[in-house]
Chains A and B, each alone.
Chain A
Amino acid sequence: MAQTDIRPRHQELGLSDDDVLGMYRDMLLARAVDERMWLMQRAGKIAFIISGQGHEGAQVAMSWAMRKGQDWMAPYYRSIASAMTFGMDAEDIITAHLAKADDVSSGGRQMPGHYGGAPYNIVSLSSPVGTQVLHAVGIAMGAWVRGDDVVTMTQFGEGTSNQGEIHEAMNFAGVHKLPVIFVCENNGYAISVPLDQQVAGSSVAARAVGYDMPGVVVDGGDVLACYAATKEAHDRARRGEGPTLIEAHVVRLTSHSSDDDQRRYRDPEEVAALKERDPIPQFAAELRAAGVLTDERDETMRAEIKSLVNEASKRAEARPEPTPEDAHERVYAEPIPGGGTAVPLAPIDGGH
């Protein structure tokens, strides 16, 4: 007799085996690219890295619920796996980190970690934290004004959840029931300052009640729970019922950035324990238990990803460097006199 009474969780959520294997693969790929960036940073090829390691489960699952090429995303600096799930490929990411001339995010103008890609509806990110959340709400407002079937997702950390702009954005989205999903990736640390000194009451999700939207807490190590919460938020947004705030509890497996050393402010035991909450082995175990993933499949996938990242790195490194002559271009959409002009203009003719 077939065991039909207990279906695997992913099937309950409407996800096929290929879907969950695809999600797993995206997580592995994002991790592999992230690790490659660190190697390149240590080799002196990249000046700075800000990592997404530990966030991949939440990021891939949540972005998986979004419609590529139709929905929009306003990411933050750890959004490597979100950006990749939403359309950027390994070569795009590596090219951007190497700041090459044809990097899709900025043409070598921005630091690593400043994700963006016009072809993928991923809004270019700046460095002052939280500003992107208002852009997401503005895109949602635009879709609402036009009547477009578009949902916008934006991500930020729990430290950033204190910025006034986040609250302005959530309030505005709540007032007009805008189709937007706010994702707080809570990894417990804003650089060095822990959650209890950042967020009064330690819950970001609890803030949602003040903005007339659901505040949902999910375990960022539970990929399918992250997907389920986001799918529901996406459906709500499309039904015109407004925004959702999702707080995903994730782990930051690395220091804040390549310029930081978290051993200065975190206990060694705490850092060692983080690995147990790494979403990748957790999801692998779930997929194995569901009979979707085998050791052989896992090994093949990892080998494929390794060679994909090697190839992408080679191609990215071979791309042209930007030139100073080009740095004066694309300052304004319509070039203006005195805009982006570095050389002083000549004196006018004549005189006494």
Chain B
Amino acid sequence: MAELNILEAIRTAMDEEMERDDQVMVLGEDVGKKGGVFGATEGLFAKYGHKRVLDTPLTEGMIAGAAMGAAVYGLRPVAEMQFADFVYPAFNQIVSEISRIHYRSNGTFSAPMVIRMPYGGGVHGALYHSQSNEGYFTHTVGLKVVAPGTPADAKGLLKASIRDPDPVMFFEHKKTYRLFKGQVPDGDTVVPIGKADVARSGKHLSIFCYGFMRTCALEAAETLAREDGVEAEIVDLRTLRPLDTETILASVAKTGKALVVHEANRFGGFGAEIAAEISERAFEQLDGPVTRLAGPDVPGVPYHHSLEDWYMIGPARIVDAARKLAAY
């Protein structure tokens, strides 16, 4: 076991996978000598050279499209989008090409590749360095979407993503990069894609979350237990697609109440999918309205700290929403 933060866990995962398989390469803006703007690829350039750790021109579409070409050719590219907010020039490649090549070629071509993207707010990044845009990608069939919330999951899921035969969008909440350390198993421990983690067991209500919201929800659960005697079950989804509906429904069957929490804005967000799944398949188990707690429907996280605080979801808001739901 090692004590790592999420950033170190991600770096370790890439290092180990590059060492294990010489077809794994990293490409993106500033990933080479600089080691990435957040430091996720630090040390890899010196160890693996300028071809396998490739500084690309500043063109996200090229990063995604060339990564797909290399994946089709048989490599295992790990592409970095400097911020999830900057992925849109690559949207055509991701949605039209990367997600569809397997289906459209009747399974004869595949794009085994990972696109890593720092996402999320709370870092004074404003409208264009704070977005939680996972919903665009969960809606796109052909992609897998992963969003870890702990160092161990970050490492294990990134290793699984690199080995996966399908394209994976890997969302890293940038606020969590250095927020805390956690125990990370040494060596080749892979966390399977598609399995949620019951981060805290409880009986009164279920909170479904991912990424940074796991940390917030766990803190909220302690407050609820201490002040209200409410035992919240925290389910960290870890993978958004494929979604572990079994674990979600089992938790709802146990608690009868579901609160879905995400930082992305509410309308048409990923929470709606979870809510719909619960409503369709666990209606008889419900003891209260399936509730969403999500970012406000504004075009982005505004900059000024008071505005950003207004946008962000933290433990206090989760406590409030949970109290209302628990009262049913």
Across-interface contacts of A330 in B (CB, < 8 A): 102-103, 106-107
How many residues on B have C-beta within 8 angstroms of the other chain's C-beta atoms?
59
Asked if B197 is an interface residue, CB under 8 A from chain A, the answer is no
Chain B CB within 8 A of A109 CB? yes
Set B57, B73, B89, B104: member contacting A171, Cβ < 8 A: B57
> Looking across the interface, which residue of chain B has its beta carbon closest to that of A327?
B103
Shortest distance in angstroms between A270's beta carbon and chain B's nearest beta carbon? Answer: 34
Q: Give the nearest-CB partner of A104 in chain B.
A: B108
Interface positions, chain B 71-103, Cβ under 8 Å from A, are 71-75, 77, 89, 92-93, 96-97, 100-103
Give the CA-CA distance A139 to B280 in the complex, in Å.
Answer: 44
Q: Is the CB of B108 within 8 A of A124?
A: yes
Shortest distance between the CB of B19 and any CB in chain A (Å): 16
The docked-state distance in angstroms from the alpha carbon of A352 to that of B282 is 10
- Are A134 and B281 interface neighbours, CB within 8 A? no
Partner of B69, one of A116, A128, A136: A136
Question: Distance (Å) between the CB of A325 and the closest chain B CB?
Answer: 14
* A172 and B194 contacting across the interface, CB-CB below 8 Å: no
Are B194 and A337 in touch, CB under 8 angstroms?
A: yes
CB distance from A248 to the nearest CB of B (A): 23
A77 at the interface (CB under 8 A from B): no
In the bound complex, how far is the Cα of B103 from the Cα of A107, in angstroms? Answer: 9
Question: Which of chain A's residues have a CB closer than 8 A to the CB of B105?
Answer: 105-106, 116, 118, 124
Other-chain residue from A117, A168, A338 in contact with B61 (beta carbon distance below 8 A): A168
Interface residue? A145 (CB, 8 A): yes
B57 touches A175 (CB 8 A): yes
B280 and A347 form a contact (CB under 8 A): yes
| Chain A proximity of B253: nearest CB distance (Å) | 6
CB proximity to B under 8 Å, residues A123-170 = 123-124, 126-128, 131, 134-146, 164-165, 168-169
Give the number of chain A interface residues (Cβ < 8 Å): 59
In angstroms, Cα B245 to Cα A333, docked, is: 21
Contact digits for A224-249, partner B, Cβ 8 Å, 1 yes 0 no: 00000000000000000000000000
Task: Tell me the chain B residues, 101-128 only, with Cβ under 8 Å from chain A.
Answer: 101-110, 112
CB distance from B17 to the nearest CB of A (A): 15
A131–B95 Cα distance when bound, in Å, is 11
Cα-based distance from A348 to B282 in the complex (angstroms): 6
A266 to chain B, nearest CB (A): 30
Judged by a CB distance under 8 angstroms, whether B242 is at the interface is yes
B66 at the interface (CB under 8 A from A): yes
**Which residues from B are CB-within-8-Å of A110?**
104
A137 neighbours in B (Cβ, 8 Å)? 62, 65-66, 69
**Is the C-beta of B25 less than 8 angstroms from some C-beta in chain A?**
yes
Establish whether residues A135 and B107, one from each chain, have CB atoms under 8 Å apart when the complex forms: no
The residue in chain B whose Cβ has the minimal distance to the Cβ of A103 is: B106
| Residue from B51, B66, B194, B241 within 8 A of A138 (CB atoms) | B66
Bound-complex Cα distance A107 to B105 (A): 7
A14 within 8 A of B: no
A351 beta carbon closer than 8 Å to chain B:
yes
Q: Do the beta carbons of B92 and A131 come within 8 Å of each other?
A: yes
In the complex, whether B7 has a CB less than 8 A from a CB of chain A is no
Q: Which of A138, A144, A346, A348 contacts B68 (CB under 8 A)?
A: A138
Q: Which residues of A contact B241 (CB under 8 A)?
A: 336, 338-339
Q: Which one of A105, A145, A168 contacts B59 once the chains associate, using CB atoms below 8 Å? A: A168
Do A344 and B242 touch across chains, with their CB atoms under 8 A apart?
no
Q: Find chain A residues with CB under 8 A from B281 CB.
A: 345-348
CA distance A109 to B249 in the complex (A): 35
Interface flag for B295 (CB, 8 Å): no
**Closest CB of chain A to B60's CB: distance in Å?**
9
Indicate if the CB atoms of A340 and B282 lie closer than 8 Å: no
Given contacts A105-B105, A172-B56, contact A135 B69 (CB under 8 A): yes
Contacts of B77 in A (CB 8 A): 138
Q: In the complex, A172 Cα to B62 Cα: how many Å? A: 8
Q: Is the beta-carbon distance between B73 and A138 smaller than 8 angstroms? A: yes
B243 proximal to A (CB < 8 A): yes
Instruction: Flag whether B142 is at the interface (Cβ < 8 A).
Output: yes
Partner of B25, one of A145, A169, A331, A346: A145
Which residue of B has the minimal Cβ distance to A331?
A: B103
Nearest to B103 among chain A residues (CB) is A331
- Which one of A74, A134, A138, A345 has the highest number of Cβ atoms from chain B below 10 Å of its Cβ? A138
- Known: A72-B73, A131-B93. Contact between A333 and B110, CB under 8 A? yes
The smallest C-beta distance from A146 to any residue of chain B, in angstroms, reads 7
When the two chains form their complex, are residues A165 and B65 in contact, meaning their CB atoms are under 8 A apart? Answer: yes
Which chain A positions have C-beta within 8 A of B56? 172
Interface centre among B59, B71, B74, B89 (most CB of A within 10 A): B59
A109–B93 contact, CB under 8 A? no
Closest residue on chain B to residue A344 by CB atoms = B280
| Interface CB pairs A-B, < 8 A, 8 | A124-B109, A126-B96, A128-B92, A131-B92, A165-B61, A333-B102, A336-B144, A352-B285
Chain A residues engaging chain B, CB cutoff 8 angstroms = 72, 74, 103-110, 114, 116-118, 123-124, 126-128, 131, 134-146, 164-165, 168-169, 171-172, 175, 329-334, 336-340, 344-348, 350-352
Name the 10 nearest CB pairs between A and B, nearest first: A138-B69, A351-B284, A134-B65, A107-B106, A330-B107, A138-B66, A333-B165, A142-B73, A118-B108, A336-B242
